[in-house]
Amino acid sequence: MLLYMSSYAIRVKMQTSQQTSRINDVLYFIHQDISRELLAKELAALAAYSEQHFHRVFKAVVGEPVHHYIRRTRMEFAANQLMFDAKSSVLDVANKSGFSSVSSFSRAFKSTFDMSPGVWRKSECQHQNKPFLADKEITACYQRLNTMIIPKCELIELPQQHVAYVRHQGYDRSIAKAWQILKTWANIQGRDFSQQFGLHHSNPAWVELKKCRYVACISIDYPILRRGVVNSMTIPAGLHAVFKLQGIYGELLPQLSNILEHWLPTSGYKMLSTPAYVHYHQNQFLTKNEKFELDFCLPISPFY
């Protein structure tokens, strides 16, 4: 009986690992270009599932239906573009966010943020009611750092990075779990763990911390043969504004918020749809003193 239960547990674990790997491939595809048509049928084929089974597996792995995830991702991107790209029209932002008409885009945006895209662009509420201020520790850091001078940045053409990664939902200390999984995997595989990156998919200025999406990554020099919870992808190359930041846990999000709110709108550049990321020199999730030293890499392009 014990042997049977052990074999069953192994099969369940292997199945769960395979499901995570396949859905990770779908998430990577979604985030490569959210403006394109993302049909469930095509995403299911990418994951090698029937469409009906794909919907069940995606919700089990990600925690929400695939169409909800895509819409939320598009709305987060649109909110960024409306706030930081004043030169693009609402129609331009709608098209970049995967909508073919302003009316459908406006309905989706209003249902998410309780205001129209035009009102959002003119309103100050997105500057004042930041979800990360619900965290008292981060609020204290924000109040202390809000008048801090933004460090100078370098504009650098960064190369692509082939990475192994673990996805995580939530911008808080629970991110340490993703790093521990990745570190254990690296030790077992004999992989170099020194080059660490963190992808920031969400802007916590208007996305609840518990819903923010983060990806813990390490650089790899040869492919992963057996994928599961740990998967592989490529961080795109391109022009980035690189800021050197340091501090302790709780201070990073306020620093990133200052860069996005004050540097980006006056920089003459626009933020791209690919996620910003950090290159850790000291990782606050892996040190007892919770100190960080990192490069914040913001993907940008000139206005045309």
- Return the pLDDT at 153: 94
CA trace torsion 242, 205, 274, 17 (10° rounding) = 110
Encoding tokens for residue 253? Answer: 């999000």
Q: What is the mean pLDDT of the chain?
A: 87
What's the whole-model pTM score?
A: 0.84
Nearest Cα to Cα of residue 299 among 88, 121, 158: 158
Q: Does the CA dihedral 8-9-14-16 come out positive or negative? A: positive
pLDDT at 5: 44
The more confident residue out of 142 and 187 is: 187
For the chain, count helices (H), then strands (E): 11, 9
* Mean pLDDT value of segment 34-58: 93
pLDDT band with cut points at 50, 70 and 90 for residue 16: confident
Query: What is the mean predicted confidence (pLDDT) over 245-268?
Result: 89
CB 275 within 8 A of CB 203: no
**Which among 197, 209, 277 is positioned nearest to 243, based on CA atoms?**
277
**The two structure tokens encoding residue 242:** 């690189």
* Residue 42 C-alpha from the chain's centroid: 23
Pairwise CA distance, residues 138 & 233, whole Å: 31
199-210 pLDDT, tens digit each: 998 888 888 899
Write the pLDDT tens digit of every residue in 263-283.
Answer: 988 888 888 888 899 999 999
Which ranges of 85-218 does DSSP label H, i.e. alpha helix? 90-96, 102-113, 117-122, 125-128, 136-145, 175-189
pLDDT at 11 over 70: no
What is the model's pLDDT at position 127? 54
What is the pLDDT confidence band of residue 12, given thresholds at 50, 70 and 90?
Answer: very low
Q: Is the pLDDT of residue 180 over 90?
A: yes
pLDDT confidence tier of residue 166, bands split at 50, 70 and 90:
very high
Residues 216-225: what's their mean pLDDT?
93
